[in-house]
Chain A
């Protein structure tokens, strides 16, 4: 099941991502970002990178996590396919996960996401469901 949806935004791309836990919602937000970058193309999971991200609050943690995906793309020739073994420490604002993926040059990239933004960013919990909202600059 697709756990994210795209919303109207004039210049950039806005999405909401869902999950039964904060971890799931973070993973869904990654799935949304991945669709923006490569559309429906399947990325192979041939390499694994361990990711550790810090923040001063939850929004920064989400921002820094998603930005890491862009960093890997530009700097490490690495396009992420999936996120595994995700752990979020809400008190310490720490995020850890395994990022699987492949070399960028093996794929057709359809969108150059310049940056994650804080514009209209929200992280909400409603009746045990988590919803995160992000606008990315393209």
Chain B
């Protein structure tokens, strides 16, 4: 294969690489990879970075983070920001799983408490309580009118209905409710796909994990986030399910019809931010994001209810809830002037430093908690957002390990039984909807999460706070 972009990569400084402006790029590409990660750098992902750099109104750089790999249109692990007047919005810059996101709960339990009940027992119980898998599966029977309220109010709707507390959504990006969400911009088809899926985990790479805080790197920040060594945490990873997928599909089609398909990649189809259609997509995207926030809020509530059967004084507070696939209007310095721009993060996490008003008050003097999940069976990390990230990456860092091996080759080369045994050897139990799911999410098919967060820390776009290791996993 031709390695045009790889050959053109220029080292800017340790861990930072540039793709110069070629082939009609309006800005250079910026890649955040260590020498070690370069072994898994895909030419096609670089090509996607370059394609994104050709989109009108793009500002500063087309960015690829440490976990970057090939996506559709935009790479996964990609960040791009656009001028509001001249720029565009693309559903491909957000992804099909709108607001696929991560929530971390801290508990008042230790491994010894879990041991008294038995890990397997707890895992079975949670697996029964939290609906997962494909299709409908929701425990609720809501009306379309209620669904509209979910789309407008997100996690705040769920709390109002008795699923959890105000503190939960205060510790969620945008207070669990993206503004300017008008349900009439969401198609009936999307609503039909979503209505039976509210409060479900889904399948694929979505999961629920019971973890232990293994190591603290930054005592002061960890304390502010309420984390200490030995504490049991729970991580929830899910998104907007069929509703979000359909919103993306619908607007890909509508934008193709209205503005034509980009000749270099259909998935980069877009509309001007200021256009009617652009505004409608952003509104529908906000609705889908709110669906995802409500989803996790309800799952949080059910986890608490379930754990109450075993631990009457259980506490499971939200540390933070971060979006991975989203576009947001934010203020950043452009040519040393503060300006409102549209930032698209696709498989990337916001990583704001202290002082930003978007961060909940109790963390504002510290910085935003950044939660980076590992792959199944490997460590996850809590980091803290930084001012450097705001300068280098529009306030963003990685969202996970990033895949390196295809699902097809994973299925050929890895057996589910072997993975299960290896996980058990490490003391990790697993419940999954399917064996195929276990194989395709095996630790071997992902990049080394330790290296991903090490580079984030070294570059300074997200500083290490704590390491969490899994003790039990539920895979959708």
Count: A-B pairs, CB below 8 Å? 128
How many B residues touch A, CB cutoff 8 Å?
53
> Which among B243-251, B374-382, B418-426 touches the partner chain?
B243-251
Q: Nearest Cβ in chain B — how far from A11, in angstroms?
A: 5
Most buried by B among A56, A110, A116: A110
Contact: B69 with A110, CB < 8 Å? no
Q: Nearest Cβ in chain A — how far from B444, in angstroms?
A: 13
- A92 to B381 CA separation, bound complex (whole angstroms): 53
- A64 to B249 CA separation, bound complex (whole angstroms): 9
Cβ 8 A contact of B203, one of A7, A112, A116: A112
Contact: B135 with A10, CB < 8 Å? no
| CB of A102 within 8 Å of the partner chain | no
Cβ 8 A contact of A104, one of B69, B72, B135, B249: B135
| CB of B196 within 8 Å of the partner chain | yes
Contact: A104 with B136, CB < 8 Å? yes
Cβ 8 A contact of B406, one of A8, A56, A71, A119: A8
Given the known interface contacts A11-B70, A73-B134, the answer about A39 and B436 at a Cβ–Cβ threshold of 8 Å is: yes
Contact: A13 with B407, CB < 8 Å? yes
Contact: A111 with B436, CB < 8 Å? yes
Given the known interface contacts A7-B408, A75-B189, the answer about A37 and B248 at a Cβ–Cβ threshold of 8 Å is: no
Residue numbers in A under 8 Å from B194 (CB-CB): 74
Cβ 8 A contact of A71, one of B189, B204, B436: B189
Contact: B69 with A109, CB < 8 Å? no
Contact: A115 with B96, CB < 8 Å? yes
Residue of A nearest to B100 (CB): A114
Contact: B409 with A119, CB < 8 Å? no
Interface of B is mostly: mixed
| CB of A77 within 8 Å of the partner chain | yes
| CB of B372 within 8 Å of the partner chain | no
- A71 to B197 CA separation, bound complex (whole angstroms): 13
B residues adjacent to A (C-beta < 8 A): 42, 69-73, 76, 96-97, 133-136, 189, 192-197, 202-204, 206, 241-242, 245-246, 248-249, 252-253, 256-257, 261, 265-267, 269, 403-409, 433-437, 440, 476
28 contacts between A and B (CB under 8 A): A11-B71, A12-B407, A56-B256, A63-B253, A70-B193, A70-B245, A71-B193, A73-B134, A74-B136, A74-B192, A74-B196, A75-B189, A75-B196, A77-B136, A109-B133, A110-B433, A110-B435, A111-B434, A112-B134, A114-B204, A115-B96, A117-B267, A118-B261, A119-B72, A119-B265, A119-B266, A137-B72, A137-B97
